[in-house]
Amino acid sequence: MEWDIGRIATKRAFLTPNKPALIYEDRPVTYKEINDNANRVANLLKKMGVKKGDRISVMLLNCPEFMEIYFAAAKLGLIFTPLNFRLVGPEIEYQLNDSGARLFVFHDAFTPIINSIRSNTKVEKDKFIFIKSMLPGVTGCPEWAADYHEILKNYSTDEPQPDEPVDLDDPLAIIYTSGVTGAPKGALVSHLQTYFKNIQIMMYMDMGSEDIILAQLPLFHSGGLFVTATPVLWRGATMILRQGFDPVKFAEDIERYRATVVFSLTTMWRFVLQTGRLDEVDKSSVRVTFGGGERTPFGLLDELAQKGLFLQQGFGQTENSAMMMLPKEDVERKKGSIGLPGFCTEVWIADDDWNELPPGEIGRIVCRGPTRMSGYWNKPEKTADTIVNGVLDTGDMGYMDEEGYFYIVDRAKDMYRSGGENVYPAEIEKVLLEHPKIMNASLIGVPDEKWGETGKAFIVLKEGETITLEEIHEYLEGKVAKYKYPTYLEFLKEFPMTTSGKVKKVELKERERKIFDEPE
């Protein structure tokens, strides 16, 4: 069927042209403005020779331009590839080349790092586009890039005509998530899957066009783009958007804009609570509070509840975002649950042979339905490992109770989440093993009051060598993003090993396991 996500902007500009779609840094941006600029971008991209199926990438802070480029790509059948702006040079280079991006749009804050790797990428020399941010003290547009706002002035706001029809089954976006082998994987998401996610998320929140949604997740995340921005704009509601997360402003924006739906990750809630501002603002407008992103301590749930914010935890991942959510009426009764499967997602617990397990038994959390990804970009083997007969293995272990509510127990794989970011130890271990002083290295996630989880590195040194945590951080600089750095370090003479020569991480985790002060 010929239809695409870009029609959200087109339809909204017709139905509610003058209504604020976004309030960006306290400035209203109407639906007509977003669509007009999306059309300008699309007409520019056509002029630059970008065609259906081509990948275009962005590395942007939160801004209206992000959504303009997203919708423009969708209208032309391009594959939108947003990159995490916390990545370092080698990581950016890998993802640009892996996706085969022809065009790259970036904010001024990232000019130096992009300049250092641009000649090593597949991005065409005349297809680097610069956007000025609201950050102070940044440089202007470099000579090797075009200025976004200057070149858009020359293009029409007329609806673009794609070179080929765009179908609902066509790919919409590639969202990168790190792999357990250290190589990031690009989750391929179609237009159709995104429409079903919109339906599911609007049903979770009973979202109406008069809702004011406050969510400061970065738009490059599936949580920012697919769980908030896309369904909000489809519904014709208004989203409060800031360039970056500020916990004080986040709390104040609840009262300032009379927010009705508030979405935040657990780590972000910790920062907001630490400011004390939630006790000083009027929160009576809030109808829905949802989020999570990692195991959320009962103490945090209770603290929010005392302030009238009843956090509905959910569960999702880049491969299938927002697949479950806890109903508001069950927040206290089912405390600790990640909720019930959404209307467009089927979820169950399976054993290692994919047989469904009865309530109470721990197994793999698996799912199927029209909201899951199509597969991993250019990685058929990884796709086949993850999606079997249409069923997606989430990589998490959990159980279902007698009433059908789900609970996470542990992750089947070694990934942990620090500040809402996925961290895969194998990626860091691979770098550490290249250090001349290190014989062997293993990394696990351990509980952390500030970030939810953080890394602890276990190191076996070469004979006669010594090393400090500071030296390890210096060695990792420029090789992996800083949120992946281990916070703790312990030296071992040898690792517990399996018969196949692999480190028994389960034994390392058992050594570090801490009991949360929670009721059974």
The pLDDT tens digits for 95-108 are 999 999 999 999 99
Looking at residue 331, its pLDDT comes to 93
Place of tokens 């000083």: 280
Residue 515 has pLDDT above 50, yes or no: no
Helix (H) or strand (E) holding 419: none
The residue-averaged pLDDT of 424-433 equals 85
Kindly report the CATH class assigned to 320-407. mainly beta
Of 3.30.210.10, 3.30.70.100, 3.40.30.10, 3.40.50.980, the CATH number of 245-309 is: 3.40.50.980
Q: What integer best gives the mean pLDDT of the chain?
A: 92
Listed in order, the ranges of the chain carrying CATH 3.40.50.12780 are: 7-195
- In 3D space, the residue among 472, 417, 489 whose CA is nearest the CA of residue 447 turns out to be 417
Q: Are 29 and 23 in contact (CB under 8 A)?
A: yes
Cβ-proximal residues to 479 (8 Å cutoff; 6+ apart), any chain: 88, 90, 431
> Is the model's pLDDT at 36 over the cut of 60?
yes
Output the pLDDT for position 178.
Answer: 61
Instruction: Give the CA dihedral 365, 367, 373, 379, nearest 10 degrees.
Output: 60
- Which of 133-137, 295-299, 349-353 has the least mean pLDDT? 295-299
Tell me what the mean pLDDT of segment 495-520 comes to.
65
If one compares 183 and 404, the residue with the highest pLDDT of the two is: 404
Question: Is the model's pLDDT at 181 over the cut of 80?
Answer: no
Q: What is the 3-state secondary structure of 79-147?
A: EEEECCCCCCHHHHHHHHHHHCCCEEEEEHHHHHHHHHHHHHCCCCCCCEEEECCCCCCCCCCCCCCEE
pLDDT value at 329 more than 80: yes
**7-195 — its CATH code?**
3.40.50.12780
Residue 462: pLDDT over 70: yes
Question: Taking every pair of C-alpha atoms in the chain, what is the biggest distance, in angstroms?
Answer: 72
Distance CA 45, CA 55 (A): 11
Least confident of 309-318, 405-414, 422-431: 405-414
pLDDT reported for residue 457: 95
Stretch(es) of the chain classified as CATH 2.30.38.10: 320-407
CA distance 222 to 318: 6
pLDDT exceeds cutoff 90 at 425: no
Residue extent(s) of CATH 3.40.50.980 domains in the chain: 245-309
Res 239: pLDDT: 98
* Arch. (CATH architecture) of 418-512: 2-Layer Sandwich (3.30)
What are the tokens at 414?
């070694």
Q: Do 420 and 271 form a contact (C-beta atoms < 8 A)?
A: no
Q: In 3D, which of 285, 260, 257 has the Cα closest to residue 27?
A: 257
- Sorting pLDDT into bands at 50, 70 and 90, what band is 390? very high
What pLDDT was estimated at residue 501? 56
Distance, in Å, from the CA atom of 16 to the CA atom of 21, rounded to the nearest integer, reads: 9
Q: Are residues 101 and 121 in contact, defined by beta-carbon separation less than 8 angstroms?
A: yes
* Amino acid at site 53: G
SS3 content of the chain, % helix, strand, coil (to 5): 30, 30, 40
Q: Distance (Å, rounded) from C-alpha 16 to C-alpha 8?
A: 11
Cite the residue boundaries of each domain of the chain with CATH code 3.30.300.30: 418-512
